[in-house]
């Protein structure tokens, strides 16, 4: 072991890096931070890890530092710092955790040494929900970009490293400023408001079918953003309301699930047929839960197109989810009910996100 290695090991010991893997990852990050003067001109990017397939398994075998250490090309793109927010599969995400994550991102951007952008590594299962909630809650116009993977690092053709590298490229790009929260997988850049997971295992799983497609793409090392999302809303709740249920009408639905959900839910998002259709018995159940003060939002179960409310639904105080799908409509209520319970104000939020 040479003098340089001894010095690095002593320095790592002072920092509390005792395991071989954490030492190796940290030394690589240290070398990146002590790079040439040209590297000092690169933008600073914070990588915040939450777990997911990109980190190895649902519980996240690899830390943020480990993920970065596996991609030497990052040293040419940005000055990287890392932190681990959680190590869970995104199927275990909760509104409370998502709110904490949003607050942490706001804290980072408000700090004196705020990064130029932030990349969040996340599982794909609830990625569309977490990214949308953060789009509603993050106050800075600096880039926030989600990266994920459909194949874990143990597979030779894992898409994680490429997606993470591309996410850092996007977060470091001046083009991404003011574009809201973005999601990048498979070389495409999507707006959080529009993106959906459309396939269980395909690398091309994330699409924005009703948002006009991706807002941009990565061409080699170049970030190309063709348009910035306009249908956006920023909320500042002190707390979120997790007791929002999502129900889907099916042939033969009789309203019993709606009545049952109202026993504990503060709000219900109901995916109705087509443009707003339902059997009379369903509207009767909705009327009963509205009398109890439960907020009800209609969206279409087709996950495409806008809902229109009937005269009866309007009279009951039902809210139109406009063209948001059920998952996004629920997340909007999770955040918005921390601000207001006024149906008219809540309706205005949905209309703003619909571009009305």
pLDDT in tens, 136-168: 999 999 999 999 999 999 888 899 999 999 999
User: What is residue 138's DSSP assignment?
Assistant: -
Q: Quick one: pLDDT at residue 58?
A: 63
| C-alpha dist (Å) from residue 11 to 7, 8, 16, 65 | 6, 5, 9, 17
Q: Answer yes or no: do 61 and 190 share one domain.
A: yes
CA distances from 71 to 36, 76, 119, 226, 352 (A): 18, 10, 14, 27, 40
Residue where a domain stops, chosen among 225, 254, 271 = 225
117 CB burial (10 A radius; 0-12, 13-18, 19+): buried
Q: Is 7 contained in some domain?
A: no
Give yes or no: residues 65 and 190 share one domain.
yes
Residue 266 has a CB neighbour count (10 Å cut-off) of 17
- For residues 67 and 214, membership in a common domain is answered with yes
> Are 212 and 250 part of one and the same domain?
no
Read off the CATH number of the domain in which 336 is found: 3.40.50.40
Global model pTM greater than 0.85? yes
200 and 114, same structural domain? Answer: yes
pLDDT tier for residue 187 given thresholds of 50, 70 and 90: very high
| Cβ 90 vs Cβ 59: under 8 Å | no
**pLDDT tens digits for range 114-141:** 999 999 999 999 999 999 999 999 999 9
Instruction: Note whether 71 and 100 are same-domain residues.
Output: yes
The total of structural domains in the chain comes to 2
**Rounded CA gap, 238 and 340, in Å?**
11
In this prediction, residue 209 carries a pLDDT of 86
Check residues 171 and 204 and name the one with the higher pLDDT: 171
* CATH classification of the domain holding 85: 3.40.50.1170
Give the mean model confidence (pLDDT) for residues 39-47. Answer: 90
Please report whether residue 14 resides in a domain: no
Task: List CB contacts of 61: < 8 A, sequence separation 6 or more.
Answer: 55, 153
**pLDDT averaged over the chain?**
89
pLDDT at residue 11 greater than cutoff 80: no
Residue 5: other Cβ atoms inside 10 A: 10
Q: Is 46 in the same domain as 191?
A: yes
269 and 149 in a single domain? The answer is: no
Domain annotation covers residue 69: yes
The catalytic residues are 53
Q: Is residue 236 included in any domain, yes or no?
A: no
In a domain, 145, yes or no: yes
Q: Give the domain extent around 279.
A: 244-353
My answer on whether 125 and 53 are in the same domain is yes
Inside any domain, residue 21: no
Q: What average pLDDT does the segment 307-326 reach?
A: 96
Task: Answer yes or no: do 198 and 258 share one domain.
Answer: no
Tokens of 251: 């042939």
Q: Are 47 and 119 in contact (CB under 8 A)?
A: yes
Calculate what percentage of the chain has a pLDDT beyond 70.
Answer: 88
Q: Determine the 3-state secondary structure of 296 from DSSP.
A: strand
Q: Are residues 128 and 171 in the same domain?
A: yes
Among the candidates 167, 197, 225, a domain finishes at 225
The strand pairing partners of 79, in sequence order, are 44
Structural domain contains residue 151: yes
Query: Is 339 contained in some domain?
Result: yes
When pLDDT is cut at 50, 70 and 90, the band that residue 310 belongs to is very high
* Angle at CA of residue 53, ends 48 and 59, nearest 5°: 75
Write down the H helix ranges in the chain.
3-15, 20-33, 37-40, 64-69, 95-110, 127-137, 160-171, 256-261, 280-291, 311-316, 326-336, 343-353
- Are 305 and 194 in a shared domain? no
Domain boundary among 194, 225, 256: 225
């Amino acid at each position: 072991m040479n003098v340089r290695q001894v010095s690095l090991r002593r320095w790592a010991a002072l920092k509390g890096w005792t395991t071989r893997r954490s030492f190796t990852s940290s030394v690589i990050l240290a070398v990146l931070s002590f790079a040439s003067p040209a590297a000092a001109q690169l933008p600073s990017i914070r990588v915040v890890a939450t777990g997911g397939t990109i980190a190895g398994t649902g519980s996240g075998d690899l830390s943020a530092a480990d993920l970065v250490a596996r991609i030497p090309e990052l040293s040419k793109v940005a000055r990287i710092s890392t932190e681990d927010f959680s190590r869970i599969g995104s199927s275990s995400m909760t509104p409370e955790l998502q709110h904490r994550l949003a607050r942490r991102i706001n804290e980072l951007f408000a700090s004196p040494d705020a990064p130029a952008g932030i990349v969040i590594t996340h599982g794909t299962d609830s990625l569309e929900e977490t990214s949308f909630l953060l789009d509603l809650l993050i106050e800075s116009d600096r880039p926030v970009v989600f990266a994920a993977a459909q194949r874990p690092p143990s597979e030779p053709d894992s898409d994680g490293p490429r997606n993470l590298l591309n996410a850092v490229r996007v977060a470091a790009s001046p083009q991404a400023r003011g574009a809201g929260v973005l999601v990048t997988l498979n070389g495409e850049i999507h707006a959080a408001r529009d993106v959906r997971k459309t396939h269980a295992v395909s690398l091309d799983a994330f699409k924005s079918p009703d948002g006009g497609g991706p807002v941009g793409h990565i061409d080699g090392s170049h970030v190309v953003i063709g348009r910035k999302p306009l249908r956006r809303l920023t909320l500042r709740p002190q707390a979120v309301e997790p007791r929002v249920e999502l129900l889907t009408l099916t042939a033969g639905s009789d309203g019993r699930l709606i009545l049952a959900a109202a026993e504990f839910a503060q709000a219900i998002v109901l995916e109705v047929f087509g443009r707003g259709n339902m059997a009379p018995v369903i509207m009767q159940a909705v009327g009963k839960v509205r009398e109890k003060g439960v907020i009800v939002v209609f969206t279409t179960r087709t996950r495409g197109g806008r809902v229109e409310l009937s005269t009866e639904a309007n009279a009951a105080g039902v809210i139109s989810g406009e063209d948001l799908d059920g998952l996004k409509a629920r997340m909007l209520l999770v955040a918005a009910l921390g601000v207001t319970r006024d149906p008219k104000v809540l309706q205005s939020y949905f209309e703003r996100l619909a571009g009305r």
